[in-house]
Amino acid sequence: MIRLAIQKSGRLSEDSLNLIRECGISFVSSTYKLKTEATNFPLEILFLRDDDIPGYVQDGVADLGIVGQNVLVEAGFPALEVETLGFSKCRLSLAVLRNEAYSSVADLQGKNIATSYPQILGRYLAGEGVQAHLHTISGSVEIAPSIGLADAICDIVSSGSTLLGNGLREVETVFRSEAVLIANQSLPAEKQELLAQLQFRMQAVRRARR
Ligand code: PRP
Ligand code: MG
Ligand code: ZN
């Protein structure tokens, strides 16, 4: 039996469940049950907060996970990635208030930036030679400029609706992301065999979709 962690609710949930089903794996899922077993493959599925998934896979609490590269890299475990999955594509971007003057990233020198991605953003700004004050908040980041909490934000953009709805303008792309399959790096041989079977099926699903 191999244990796979997926997002409980959010941008990746639907597509993660669809991918598993398209791999020919059957299971029953209900809203309040956070763990389920497949009926025709030795697979157990855990439904977790996406931010917790990289750490659980690193520690071996889960063998496998499906997460966005944004969450994986921010958590500091990029080496766990074994397969890109082609869905939940998004970007991590810097944004300022719509009417704010902005010509380049140098304009952010000394400014306050709200983000849930301090590691990725910190490295990006260091690379650009910009020093800013990063304020880490775990959600609703887009509200920060309009309530005077920050001069700029750095958060995930998919359709762009959340930026638009909060009077923000995207000014720089910091990181591009999509969903990936991750795996613990010291899986025993039987689990490595199950992982190989899953990867084979996932690759076939991707080819069939194209
Ligand atoms: C991201 C981000 C925005 C939204 C942007 O959240 O924080 O809320 O998606 O999408 P849009 O451009 O289509 O409006 P995410 O789904 O990553 O959820 P989380 O931050 O709660 O984990
Ligand atoms: Mg999250
Ligand atoms: Zn978010």
Q: Domains of the chain by range and CATH? A: 2-88+178-209 (3.40.190.10), 90-176 (3.40.190.10)
How high is the pLDDT of residue 34? Answer: 94
User: What number does the ligand 1 atom closest to the CA of 50 have?
Assistant: 22
Q: Does 29 have pLDDT greater than 90?
A: no
Task: For the beta carbon of residue 28, count every other beta carbon within 10 angstroms.
Answer: 9
Mean per-residue pLDDT, 69-77: 98
User: CA angle, 62 as apex, 91 and 23 as ends, to 5°?
Assistant: 70
Entry pTM:
0.94
Whether 161 lines ligand 1, by a CB cut-off of 6 Å, is yes
Mean per-residue pLDDT, 71-78: 98
Q: Does 180 have pLDDT greater than 90?
A: yes
How high is the pLDDT of residue 107? Answer: 98
Whether 140 lines ligand 1, by a CB cut-off of 6 Å, is no
Rounded Cα distance, 68 and 87, in Å: 9
Q: Does 210 have pLDDT greater than 90?
A: no
Distances from the Cα of 136 to the Cα of 70, 131, 167, 168, 180, angstroms: 15, 15, 21, 18, 25
pLDDT band at 133 (very low <50, low <70, confident <90, very high): very high
Look at ligand 1, atom 21, and give the residue with the nearest C-alpha: 139
